[in-house]
Amino acid sequence: MHFDISQRAQRLTSSAIREILKITEDPSVISFAGGIPSPQTFPVGLMKEACARILDEAPDAALQYAPTEGYTPLREWIADRHDVTPDRVLITTGSQQALDLLAKVLVDPGSRILVENPTYLGALQAFSLSEPALVPIECDDAGIVPEALTGAAIRGARFVYTMPNFQNPTGRRLPLARRREFVAAMREANVVIVEDDPYGELAYIGEPLPTMLSMNGEGVIYLGSFSKIVAPGLRVGYAIAPEPLMKKLVQTKQASDLHTSGFVQRMVYEMLRTGFLDAHVKQIRALYVGQRDAMLASLASHCASRMSWNVPEGGMFLWARVLDAVDVTRLLETTLAPVSGPRVAFVPGSPFYAGVADTHTLRLSFVTVPPPRIEEGVAQLAAALARLS
């Protein structure tokens, strides 16, 4: 049997990250690779209570087909948190699905969409199925450079995709003044902003900055997720969209998977309504900032002469750059097959670029392994750097 694969699927490649994550399934590997939340943060006790309550009190509704838009009390909770009306909230199967839906609804083959450079690899993959023309926009250490947002490339773009808080992969946060400039520039250019915000709650310095959604509700599609603050295995995310887009997003989701599991939506809501989240997020922040600091300290003592890195103000990742003499692909091969000591995984930076890549970059996650192993892993990374420089 011969199979004719569609053009778009032919072009799709497996995420380099997912391939590296397979290696990290071996628990002896010290993984700085994935954005894998620490299982310590999963509210298992509350989940048990939630499951029992749902199956005692509303099994028929929780297990039945349900509206595509999502479970109403969960939509109301989200709407309240973001000060929007519930009819603008669509529950999605993780926020990855929201990226797929947005591309389906807003992108024709060849449509221009603007992306940060580097940007989230999962977004590039989701968008690629709709065959857009990706236009990388200029970024510096703080994120998007508002002055660069001019000219023909911007006007007529279907949307601009940005992760303003603790971006995956760079960990950087867009400062407040730049947010305001960016939102104003996009409003002026009539370009929709897709604000992807899975890490927004994980701010380690000061309070979270205002969302772009709060600055221009009519021009921003906000994507949220419970993966980093409750648990990724439930696959519950959401989109908050301007009213004129909701109908098409709902129709498209209906065609894509009918609806997100009503059972897991209720699990999330039953936990949220206990009011646990804010205290829980504080605990997660305390855990992760400690791990971040452990990684920063280890890097300072082992790698200072051969690598530079940023100090993320939140999230899960820091972004590093090796000396020009070092090949990052060879570095990964070396840390995965060391002469002695533990194997260490990380993700090279190149796959995250939509435009010209800085091939000497890498992404390091500090959330997956505890501080003693962070120290051990960074020492191993330093040994490999020494061997290759």
Site for its own copies in 299-338 (CB under 8 A): none
Decide whether 80 or 188 has the Cβ nearer to its own copies: 188
Q: Which of 23, 42, 142, 214 binds its own copies (CB under 8 A)?
A: 42
Q: Which stretch binds its own copies (CB under 8 A): 165-173, 249-257, 294-302, 317-325?
A: 249-257
Q: Name the burial class of residue 14, with classes exposed (0-12), middle (13-18) and buried (19+) by CB atoms within 10 angstroms of its CB.
A: exposed
Decide whether 162 or 227 has the Cβ nearer to its own copies: 227
Q: Is 36 in the site for its own copies (CB under 8 A)?
A: yes
Binding string, 129-168, against its own copies, x = CB under 8 A?
A: xx---------------------------x----------
Q: Which stretch binds its own copies (CB under 8 A): 173-181, 195-203, 247-255, 298-306?
A: 247-255
The alpha carbon dihedral of 93, 96, 97, 98 has a sign of positive
To its own copies, the closest distance from the beta carbon of 335 in angstroms equals: 22
To its own copies, the closest distance from the beta carbon of 119 in angstroms equals: 14
Phi first, then psi: give them for residue 203, nearest 5 degrees: -95, 125
Q: Which of 73, 86, 242, 290 binds its own copies (CB under 8 A)?
A: 242
User: How many residues at the interface with its own copies, by CB under 8 A?
Assistant: 87
What CA–CA distance (Å, rounded) separates 141 from 338? 32
Q: Which of 60, 207, 278, 324 binds its own copies (CB under 8 A)?
A: 60
Number of neighbouring beta carbons within 10 Å of residue 152: 8
To its own copies, the closest distance from the beta carbon of 276 in angstroms equals: 15
Buried residues in 37-49 as b, exposed as e (16+ CB within 10 A): beeebebeebbee
Q: Is 125 in the site for its own copies (CB under 8 A)?
A: yes
Q: Is 211 in the site for its own copies (CB under 8 A)?
A: no
Q: Is 257 in the site for its own copies (CB under 8 A)?
A: yes
Q: Which stretch binds its own copies (CB under 8 A): 255-263, 273-281, 332-340, 372-380?
A: 255-263
Q: Which two tokens stand for residue 375?
A: 């120290």
Decide whether 47 or 357 has the Cβ nearer to its own copies: 47
Q: Which stretch binds its own copies (CB under 8 A): 165-173, 207-215, 225-233, 304-312?
A: 225-233
Residues of span 269-288 touching its own copies by CB under 8 A: none
Q: Is 182 in the site for its own copies (CB under 8 A)?
A: no
What CA–CA distance (Å, rounded) separates 189 from 172? 25
To its own copies, the closest distance from the beta carbon of 262 in angstroms equals: 4
Decide whether 57 or 80 has the Cβ nearer to its own copies: 57
Q: Which stretch binds its own copies (CB under 8 A): 94-102, 140-148, 168-176, 315-323?
A: 94-102
To its own copies, the closest distance from the beta carbon of 140 in angstroms equals: 28
Q: Which of 133, 177, 205, 255 binds its own copies (CB under 8 A)?
A: 255
